[in-house]
């Protein structure tokens, strides 16, 4: 991936642990400088330090993507810091209540839409002028929830399905302006949160965490769960010139758990 994003500036929302960190690191490995946005300043500083140790520049901007003024400040800071924006990765999200649709609180569903869909739309719209100047690219981080209809995931699937539809329509609207818009849909990502969850399940069942991992990995063709850098590499591809004729697409990164 070295050099694919050389000289580019990429903005990443939700730049915390797990995939957020992986996105920043893999973009930096590919040669990009990064603007990191999230609510947690300490986590932002930790990710920025890693990027800077790799020899790339990292600017941190504490941001609540549901706050319009904070989003405008993010755009201004990105342009002032690097004089350009070549890519935007909408990674920030909120998980709605995992409850059957017949019982879920509708206000909680609306709140999920605000963060997962409307906040991503707001941020993308604000960055359009800067992206148009550079023939830039937007990548929406979605989820494998698009591919199944398991109980309790209904509100989450509704939000992520709306995010996918939004990305496709933005690709059509922004394509004539030289901006590409694509989607990455990962399944389980083997990072801190999932590791904690598998340990929790293992203790509850009286088995090892490795057994829980193996059971879940067995549902994939590759018999492994993707790690953050593997998902992030797909994002780097979408941001890079290698994907210069790719827009409006959704690339699943799930080790073959779901085929699409």
Chain centroid to Cα 173, Å, comes to 21
197 classed as catalytic: no
Distance CA 46, CA 94 (A): 22
**4 exposure class (CB count in 10 Å sphere: 0-12, 13-18, 19+):** buried
> What are the Cα distances from residue 48, in Å, to 24, 42, 215?
8, 10, 35
Distance CA 161, CA 148 (A): 11
141 three-class SS? strand
Distance CA 31, CA 177 (A): 25
Catalytic entry in 156, 188, 197, 213: 156
- Residues with active-site annotation: 156
């Amino acid at each position: 991936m070295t050099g694919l994003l050389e000289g580019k500036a990429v903005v990443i929302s939700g730049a915390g642990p797990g995939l957020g960190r992986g996105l920043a690191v893999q973009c930096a490995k590919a040669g990009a400088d990064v603007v990191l946005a999230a609510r947690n300043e300490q986590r932002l500083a930790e990710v920025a330090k890693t990027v800077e140790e790799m020899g790339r520049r990292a600017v941190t901007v504490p941001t609540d993507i549901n706050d319009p003024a904070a989003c405008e400040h993010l755009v201004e800071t990105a342009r002032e810091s690097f004089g350009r924006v070549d890519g935007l990765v909408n990674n920030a999200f909120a998980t709605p209540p995992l409850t059957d649709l017949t019982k879920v609180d509708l206000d909680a569903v609306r709140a999920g839409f605000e963060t997962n869909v409307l906040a991503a739309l707001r941020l993308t719209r604000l960055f359009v002028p800067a992206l148009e100047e550079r023939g830039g690219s937007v990548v929406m981080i979605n989820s494998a929830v698009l591919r199944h209809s398991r109980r309790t995931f209904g509100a989450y699937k509704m939000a992520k399905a709306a995010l996918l539809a939004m990305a496709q329509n933005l690709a059509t609207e922004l394509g004539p302006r030289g901006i590409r818009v694509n989607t990455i849909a990962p399944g389980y990502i083997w990072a801190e949160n999932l590791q904690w969850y598998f340990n929790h399940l293992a203790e509850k069942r009286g088995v090892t965490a490795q057994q829980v991992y193996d059971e879940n990995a067995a549902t994939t063709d590759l018999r492994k769960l993707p790690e953050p850098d593997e998902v992030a590499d797909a994002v780097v591809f979408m941001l890079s010139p290698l994907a210069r004729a790719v827009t409006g697409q959704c690339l699943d990164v799930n080790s073959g758990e779901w085929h699409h």
